[in-house]
């Protein structure tokens, strides 16, 4: 299977405008994300898909691969689908968020493995999650939570606390969704033909579009423990982790 990683990069982020060009240990967030993805060594190709000359020049001037989107897009998945539209040689597409500078090899290998073997033939979309233990983070709407069934298929994603602990005596595991997705190419192309769904619009979580259209999403537990740069405070945390 030919596997490519595409990094959607929008300059004007709502919560933290220009965050992808913010400096993290002397390099921009987007450049660190690109380099860490390349350094995993698990992809045949890695490319940034952007809407800004600033980000494009940042990647290309540092020896990386980038492409400009031809039009505006509502979400990163639509952006990478445009980039892969004419690439019939590609089998698996991994969407690595541009604000994930600590992308690592292990979790990505775990993610790609679910597409292999007899059982993997039925997997169309997969993503990562990690255990959340800090209650402050569990309540924080910037942390997207996911509830799964016994086979690790996603039941729902939310910025709210799910499941809600009405019975405090029941042992409950909370999972944070890590915004790295893997798709079969055709499933990704089909996604772009689906209109934005009601739950997706309400929560501003694009993967809800799959669930609302009856497409299962396989979730893989990992001990990622990186920092996704959503706010200036996250950048401070990332500096400490770096």
pLDDT in tens, 85-143: 888 899 999 999 888 899 889 999 999 999 998 989 999 999 999 999 999 999 999 89
Q: pLDDT at position 191, please? A: 86
For residue range 12-63, list pLDDT tens digits in order. 776 687 899 999 999 999 999 999 999 999 999 999 998 889 999 999 999 9
For residue range 214-230, list pLDDT tens digits in order. 999 999 999 876 788 88
Contact status, residue 69 vs residue 132, Cβ threshold 8 Å: no
Q: For 184, list phi and psi in degrees, rounded to 5.
A: -75, 145
pLDDT band at residue 1 using 50, 70 and 90 as cut-offs: confident
Distance CA 10, CA 60 (A): 16
Q: Residue 40's Cα: distance from chain center in Å?
A: 16
With vertex at residue 91, the alpha carbon angle to CA 85 and CA 96, rounded to the nearest 5 degrees, is 75
Q: pLDDT at position 106, please? A: 93
Residue 200 pLDDT exceeds 90? yes
Residue 75 pLDDT exceeds 70? no
Q: Domain holding 95: CATH number?
A: 3.90.550.10
Between 133 and 73, name the one with better pLDDT.
133
Residue 73 pLDDT exceeds 80? no
Q: pLDDT at position 226, please? A: 73
Distance CA 89, CA 1 (A): 9
Q: pLDDT at position 122, please? A: 92
The pTM score is 0.87
The stretch 199-227 carries a mean pLDDT of: 91
Residue 74 pLDDT exceeds 70? no
Q: pLDDT at position 228, please? A: 80
* Residue with the two structure tokens 């944070």: 176
Lowest mean pLDDT among 16-30, 155-169, 191-205, 215-229: 215-229
Q: pLDDT at position 71, please? A: 65
Lowest mean pLDDT among 6-10, 30-34, 171-175: 6-10
Q: pLDDT at position 24, please? A: 93
The three-state secondary structure class of 237 is: helix
Q: pLDDT at position 101, please? A: 92
Contact status, residue 160 vs residue 141, Cβ threshold 8 Å: yes
User: Domain containing 162: what range?
Assistant: 3-241
Q: pLDDT at position 51, please? A: 86
Tally of domains within the chain = 1
């Amino acid at each position: 299977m030919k596997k490519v990683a595409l990094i959607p990069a929008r300059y004007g982020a709502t919560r933290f405008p220009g965050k992808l060009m913010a400096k993290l240990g002397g390099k921009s967030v987007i450049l660190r994300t690109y380099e860490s993805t390349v350094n995993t060594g698990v992809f045949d190709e890695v490319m940034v898909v952007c809407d800004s000359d600033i980000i494009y020049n940042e990647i290309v001037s540092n020896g990386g691969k980038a492409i400009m989107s031809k039009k505006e897009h509502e979400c990163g998945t639509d952006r990478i689908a445009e980039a892969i539209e004419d690439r019939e040689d590609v089998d698996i597409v991994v969407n690595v968020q541009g604000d994930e500078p600590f992308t690592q090899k292990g979790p990505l290998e775990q993610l790609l493995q679910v597409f292999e073997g007899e059982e993997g033939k039925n997997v169309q979309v997969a993503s990562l999650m990690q255990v959340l233990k800090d209650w402050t983070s569990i309540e924080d709407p910037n942390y997207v939570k996911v509830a799964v069934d016994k086979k690790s298929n996603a039941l729902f994603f939310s910025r709210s606390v799910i499941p809600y602990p009405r019975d405090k005596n029941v042992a409950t595991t909370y999972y944070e969704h890590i915004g790295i997705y893997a798709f079969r190419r055709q499933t990704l192309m089909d996604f772009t033909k689906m209109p934005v769904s009601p739950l997706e619009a309400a929560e501003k979580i694009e993967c809800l579009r799959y669930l609302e259209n009856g497409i299962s999403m396989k979730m893989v537990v990992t001990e990622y423990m990186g920092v996704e740069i959503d706010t200036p405070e996250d950048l401070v945390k990332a500096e400490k982790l770096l």
